[in-house]
């Protein structure tokens, strides 16, 4: 069953305040992002050029920072200042094979950071850690997202390759923090594709699929089981479980590019007997050309390579055939396929168990790679029905939305695994003071362990000791195996305390976590013991089943998922009393008599111990380092914003100056500007204008933003009276018409009203107005007429390049006053009863019952007030001519 509209998968939970969730598929060559926000269609985020993907590049062009394609396009001109594909070396030790490999494909000047990781150096000597470069990209994407969301975006889910070690995961999280975002989760990219696959499908029986992702830098295969969830297992929905992963860290599209470039280099060198590798810019050009030729060869059997003025002024041209290219890559064919076999092996499945192989990643479009996969799994198993480019980011966004719990999503449960064996080791407590310490090693999180697993280790120790966490196998050549060390301190005091209080054989318990995002950590360490409580209260408590289990103990048991209750005990001969018995503490309500009796005599207690973790190999960034990095990024942001403001002020001034010059230069025609300005004014503006122009040319590059504004304000002040005259001339006819219209309407009204009033008085009928009111209106009208007449005549004599003597705004205001007074009388209703008269017209009287009579008094009452207001203008009227004379 398919659901084509992605929106139908997402419904909002209305009452909560919703925050957006950002998902980033952080690739070596391309970055894709997606934003989950109520009211915003769920889709891939577009960059400012409306492209659905962003090239992974950060660069500087004469001090201006560039991102995406803007940066990548500068790579051959500024090879020292444009950095691409640095995801290769994120979290990698400086002295590792991947870094030497990266140095082969990137012209970047690499430096070693204080943390023994990789940084880059710009041509001006500025150094950036790869985490900082990555953070700049994340911040750039955050800005894109915020402009779409129209609000702050904080929470982010980022895809990582499943083979990422803790060092690399730390580097991503550090970059996220530097960028000002908050990590909701890291999700393995194959897993997010699986989630995206499950989003639009319903499974009736369990199915296995392989997500085959050949990307720019590496190739991954993930075996995923899709199982329907029924009512018992929390359904309806789908359980997406990763069963096995295979990978090759260094086989991907970029390696194909590198081999293609090698063909081009060899061709050039052979033809011209030179070494083009000495020329950084030429190598950067060839790098771009290699990608282009590779793409052509995906669809054609041969391609023409052509680079103008490549080096030594030589225009390079060569014909490259697909056969040549494939011959240079023969060894890679098996490397592209091997991850599939490895993934099946770790999952314990064969190809027969697999329903389909989903191809994702740009490199799966290369015919050689597609052919290799087809011949390995059979063409009928290949599924091209997922969006090869966007399913990782869409799956990650969906995953993020379900994690944030703010969206009601289709029910998809995800279990992912860690693929590296993690061991913990420690030195056994010395049996005699002189004996050499014996090291004990336990495979604590074997490959295949599910994310979110907690394990508790129990130690019979009396002194502080250290746990060493290591990868059992080499993660990648040159990587350290030691992840971190955690010293558990304060043991002697805590154990002493428990012993003094009567605890029998107190122990130390450490809780270790393999998080959903793939991080290993020590979450807690405690000293623990059962304290015999011989006091009367203790005994009474026991009798009545009083709770004696400490709350900490209860939580730690709860936190351990039932399927993972894998409490390991120390392998020492004098091991702690069977760890399971102590941790499987019955809850206080349990009333098994045996336990009850035992508990009556024992009081358990825990004392929290301090855990001090150190990173002897590749440390994550410290809080201070991250703060400093964030400060550096903010400083560039602020600098760029100021630069943009200045640039804008300068451009605005410049175009204003040109516009003004055009107005002044139009000498021959009778332009409004000319009509409304005096020679002297134009002269003054011209002088100031030329002065501003030369200032702009001489000092424009070093001037401050405010100076650009000042120049413009000065000129605008000179231009303003001219514009005003012109505007007044334009507006005058309309204003005059308006005034005359009210003059005319008032006169018409007065004429009719006076007739009606006379007729009504004769017929002894109630009237809407009094004679005084009409007289007052007429007086106002006459004054208005006089004013209008006088000033219109005066205005007629004013030249177009002189300031007007009456403002249209005042004309409108005066007409408005007349209009209001007219309308007040005009809208008045006929009073039902003529108040002072008791004997009224027979027609009117019977139709108004007594009740209505009272109500009808309302309007006349208002009217009584009205004459007072109409009388008020008298003193005003006297003032008005005065004001006009001024």
Chain residues that interact with ligand NAG, rule: CB under 6 A: 349-350, 352-353, 497, 500, 591, 733, 737, 740, 743-744, 747, 749, 752-753, 756, 785, 788-789
Q: How far is the CB of 104 from ligand NAG (least distance, A)?
A: 42
**SS3 for 440?**
strand
Peptide bond into 236 cis (omega under 30): yes
State which residue, 557 or 756, has the beta carbon closest to ligand NAG.
756
Q: Which residues are paired to 304 by β-bridges? A: 319
Q: How far is the CB of 349 from ligand NAG (least distance, A)?
A: 6
Q: Can you tell me the distance from the alpha carbon of 238 to that of 228, in angstroms, rounded to the nearest whole number? A: 5
Q: How far is the CB of 415 from ligand NAG (least distance, A)?
A: 16
State which residue, 471 or 787, has the beta carbon closest to ligand NAG.
787
Q: Can you tell me the distance from the alpha carbon of 600 to that of 539, in angstroms, rounded to the nearest whole number? A: 6
Q: How far is the CB of 883 from ligand NAG (least distance, A)?
A: 18
**Cβ neighbours of residue 786 under 8 Å, at least 6 residues apart?**
none
Instruction: Assess contact for 514 and 443: CB atoms under 8 A.
Output: no
**Cβ neighbours of residue 823 under 8 Å, at least 6 residues apart?**
none
Q: How far is the CB of 39 from ligand NAG (least distance, A)?
A: 43
Q: How far is the CB of 738 from ligand NAG (least distance, A)?
A: 8
Question: What's the angle, vertex CA 232, arms to CA 226 and CA 238, rounded to 5?
Answer: 20
Q: Can you tell me the distance from the alpha carbon of 213 to that of 192, in angstroms, rounded to the nearest whole number? A: 12
Determine what percent of the chain falls in helix, strand and coil, rounding each to the nearest 5.
50, 20, 30
- How are beta strands 354-360 and 382-383 bridged, if at all? parallel
Neighbours of 482 (CB within 10 A): 13
Q: How far is the CB of 413 from ligand NAG (least distance, A)?
A: 19
Instruction: Assess contact for 770 and 777: CB atoms under 8 A.
Output: no
Residue keyed to tokens 């890291």: 186
Residue keyed to tokens 């060092």: 167
State which residue, 152 or 771, has the beta carbon closest to ligand NAG.
771
State which residue, 592 or 639, has the beta carbon closest to ligand NAG.
592
Neighbours of 456 (CB within 10 A): 25
Q: How far is the CB of 1 from ligand NAG (least distance, A)?
A: 23
| DSSP notation for 672-740 | HHHHTS-HHHHHHHHHHHHHHHHHHHHHTTT--HHHHHHHHHHHHHHHHHHHHHHHHHHHHHHHHHHHH
Question: What's the angle, vertex CA 446, arms to CA 518 and CA 95, rounded to 5?
Answer: 65
State which residue, 466 or 738, has the beta carbon closest to ligand NAG.
738
Q: How far is the CB of 500 from ligand NAG (least distance, A)?
A: 4
How far, rounded to the nearest angstrom, does the alpha carbon of residue 731 sit from its chain's CA centroid? Answer: 49
Q: How far is the CB of 497 from ligand NAG (least distance, A)?
A: 4
State which residue, 477 or 496, has the beta carbon closest to ligand NAG.
496
Instruction: Assess contact for 413 and 388: CB atoms under 8 A.
Output: no
Q: How far is the CB of 803 from ligand NAG (least distance, A)?
A: 22
State which residue, 204 or 591, has the beta carbon closest to ligand NAG.
591
Angle between helices 808-826 and 705-763 (to 10 degrees): 30
Instruction: Assess contact for 339 and 419: CB atoms under 8 A.
Output: no
Q: How far is the CB of 749 from ligand NAG (least distance, A)?
A: 5
Tokens, residue 312: 């030594």
Q: How far is the CB of 354 from ligand NAG (least distance, A)?
A: 9
Residue 877: CA count within 13 A, CB half-sphere: 17
State which residue, 355 or 466, has the beta carbon closest to ligand NAG.
355
Burial class (CB in 10 A: 0-12, 13-18, 19+), 518: buried
How far, rounded to the nearest angstrom, does the alpha carbon of residue 497 sit from its chain's CA centroid? Answer: 50
State which residue, 415 or 497, has the beta carbon closest to ligand NAG.
497
**SS3 for 533?**
coil
Q: How far is the CB of 594 from ligand NAG (least distance, A)?
A: 13
State which residue, 208 or 407, has the beta carbon closest to ligand NAG.
208
State which residue, 602 or 621, has the beta carbon closest to ligand NAG.
602
**Cβ neighbours of residue 505 under 8 Å, at least 6 residues apart?**
460, 529, 576, 577
**SS3 for 30?**
strand
State which residue, 366 or 585, has the beta carbon closest to ligand NAG.
585
Residue keyed to tokens 């309309």: 734
State which residue, 401 or 776, has the beta carbon closest to ligand NAG.
776
Instruction: Assess contact for 288 and 105: CB atoms under 8 A.
Output: no
- How are beta strands 503-514 and 465-471 bridged, if at all? unpaired
Write the DSSP symbol of residue 540.
H
Q: How far is the CB of 350 from ligand NAG (least distance, A)?
A: 6
State which residue, 785 or 880, has the beta carbon closest to ligand NAG.
785
Question: What's the angle, vertex CA 383, arms to CA 382 and CA 386, rounded to 5?
Answer: 150
State which residue, 353 or 515, has the beta carbon closest to ligand NAG.
353
First to last CA, the chain: 85
State which residue, 492 or 638, has the beta carbon closest to ligand NAG.
492
Neighbours of 752 (CB within 10 A): 10
Burial class (CB in 10 A: 0-12, 13-18, 19+), 148: middle
State which residue, 306 or 353, has the beta carbon closest to ligand NAG.
353
State which residue, 324 or 497, has the beta carbon closest to ligand NAG.
497
Q: How far is the CB of 726 from ligand NAG (least distance, A)?
A: 19
Q: Can you tell me the distance from the alpha carbon of 74 to that of 718, in angstroms, rounded to the nearest whole number? A: 45
Q: How far is the CB of 779 from ligand NAG (least distance, A)?
A: 14
Q: How far is the CB of 592 from ligand NAG (least distance, A)?
A: 8
| DSSP notation for 215-273 | -SS-EEEEEEEEEEE-TTTT-SEEEEEEEEEEEETT-SHHHHHHHHHHHHHHHHHHHHT
């Amino acid at each position: 069953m398919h659901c084509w509209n992605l929106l139908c998968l997402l419904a909002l939970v209305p009452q909560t305040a919703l925050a957006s969730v950002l998902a980033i598929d952080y690739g070596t060559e391309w970055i894709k992002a997606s934003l989950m926000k109520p009211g915003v269609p769920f889709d891939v985020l577009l960059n400012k050029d409306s492209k659905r993907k962003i090239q992974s590049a950060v660069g500087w062009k004469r001090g201006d920072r560039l991102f995406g394609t803007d940066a990548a396009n500068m790579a051959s001109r500024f090879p020292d200042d444009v950095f691409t594909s640095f995801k290769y070396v994120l979290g990698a030790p400086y002295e590792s094979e991947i870094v030497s490999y990266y140095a082969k494909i990137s012209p970047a000047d690499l430096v070693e950071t204080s943390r023994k990781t990789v940084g880059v150096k710009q041509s001006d000597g500025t150094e950036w850690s790869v985490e900082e470069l990555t953070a700049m990209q994340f911040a750039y994407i955050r800005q894109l997202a915020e402009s779409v969301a129209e609000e702050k975006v904080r929470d982010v889910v980022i895809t990582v390759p499943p083979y990422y070690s803790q060092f690399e995961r730390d580097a991503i999280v550090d970059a996220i923090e530097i960028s000002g975002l908050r990590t909701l989760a890291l999700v393995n990219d194959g897993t997010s594709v699986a989630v995206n696959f499950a989003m639009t499908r319903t499974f009736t029986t369990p199915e296995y699929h392989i997500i085959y992702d050949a990307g720019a830098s590496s190739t991954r295969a993930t075996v995923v089981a899709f199982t329907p969830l029924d009512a018992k297992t929390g359904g309806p929905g789908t359980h997406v479980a990763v069963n096995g992963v295979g990978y090759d860290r260094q086989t991907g599209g970029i390696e194909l590019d590198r081999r293609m470039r090698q063909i081009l280099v060899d061709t050039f060198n052979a033809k011209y007997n030179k070494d083009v590798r000495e020329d950084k810019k030429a190598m950067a050009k060839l790098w771009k050309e290699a990608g282009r030729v590779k793409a052509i060869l995906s669809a054609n059997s041969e391609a023409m390579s052509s680079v103008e003025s490549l080096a030594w002024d030589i225009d390079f041209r060569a014909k490259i055939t697909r056969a040549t290219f494939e011959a240079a890559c023969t060894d890679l064919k098996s490397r592209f396929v091997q991850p599939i076999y490895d993934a099946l092996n770790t999952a314990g499945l064969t190809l027969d168990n697999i329903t389909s192989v989903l191809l994702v990643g740009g490199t799966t479009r290369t015919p050689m790679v597609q052919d290799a996969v087809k011949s390995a799994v059979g063409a009928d198993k290949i599924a091209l029905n997922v969006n090869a480019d966007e399913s990782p980011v869409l799956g990650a966004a969906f995953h993020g939305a379900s994690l944030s719990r703010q969206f009601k999503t289709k029910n998809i449960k995800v279990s992912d695994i860690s693929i590296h064996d993690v061991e913990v080791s420690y030195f056994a407590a010395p049996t005699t003071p002189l004996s050499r310490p014996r090291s004990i090693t336990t495979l604590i999180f074997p490959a295949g362990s599910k994310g979110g697993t907690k394990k508790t280790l129990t130690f019979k120790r009396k002194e502080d000791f250290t746990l060493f966490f290591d990868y059992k196998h080499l993660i990648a050549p040159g990587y350290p195996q030691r992840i971190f060390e955690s010293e558990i301190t304060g043991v002697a005091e805590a154990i002493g305390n428990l012993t003094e209080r009567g605890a029998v054989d107190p122990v130390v318990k450490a809780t270790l976590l393999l998080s959903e995002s793939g991080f290993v950590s020590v979450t807690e360490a405690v000293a623990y013991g059962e304290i015999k409580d011989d006091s009367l209260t203790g005994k009474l408590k026991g009798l009545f089943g009083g709770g004696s289990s400490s709350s900490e103990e209860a939580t730690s048991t709860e936190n351990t998922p039932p399927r993972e209750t894998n409490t390991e005990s120390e392998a020492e001969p004098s091991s702690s009393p069977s760890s399971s018995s102590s941790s499987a503490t019955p809850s206080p309500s349990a009333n098994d008599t045996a336990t009850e009796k035992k508990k009556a005599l024992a009081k358990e207690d825990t004392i929290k111990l301090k855990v001090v973790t150190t990173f002897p190999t590749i440390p994550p960034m410290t809080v201070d380092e991250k703060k400093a990095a964030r400060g550096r990024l903010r400083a560039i942001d602020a600098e760029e914003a100021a630069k943009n403001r200045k640039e804008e002020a300068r451009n605005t001034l410049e175009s204003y100056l040109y516009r003004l010059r055009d107005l002044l230069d139009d000498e021959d025609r009778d332009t409004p500007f000319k009509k409304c300005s005096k020679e002297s004014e134009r002269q003054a503006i011209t002088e100031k204008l030329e002065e501003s122009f030369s200032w702009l040319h001489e000092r424009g590059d070093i001037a401050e933003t405010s100076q650009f504004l000042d120049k413009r304000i000065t000129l605008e002040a000179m231009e303003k009276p001219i514009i005003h005259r012109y505007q007044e001339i334009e507006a005058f006819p309309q204003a005059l018409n308006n005034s005359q219209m009210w003059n005319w309407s008032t006169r018409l009204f007065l004429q009719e009203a006076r007739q009606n009033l006379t007729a009504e008085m004769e017929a002894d009928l109630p009237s809407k107005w009094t004679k005084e009111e009409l007289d007052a209106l007429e007086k106002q009208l006459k004054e208005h007429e006089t004013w209008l007449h006088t000033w219109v005549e005066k205005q007629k004599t004013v030249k177009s390049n002189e300031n007007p003597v009456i403002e249209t705004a005042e004309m409108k205001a005066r007409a408005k006053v007349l209009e209001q007074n007219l309308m007040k009388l005009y809208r008045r209703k006929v009073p039902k009863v003529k108040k002072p008269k008791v004997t009224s017209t027979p027609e009117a009287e019977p139709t108004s019952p007594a009740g209505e009579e009272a109500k009808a008094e309302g309007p006349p009452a208002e009217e009584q007030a009205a004459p007072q207001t109409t009388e008020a203008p008298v003193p005003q009227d006297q003032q008005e001519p005065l004001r006009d004379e001024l």
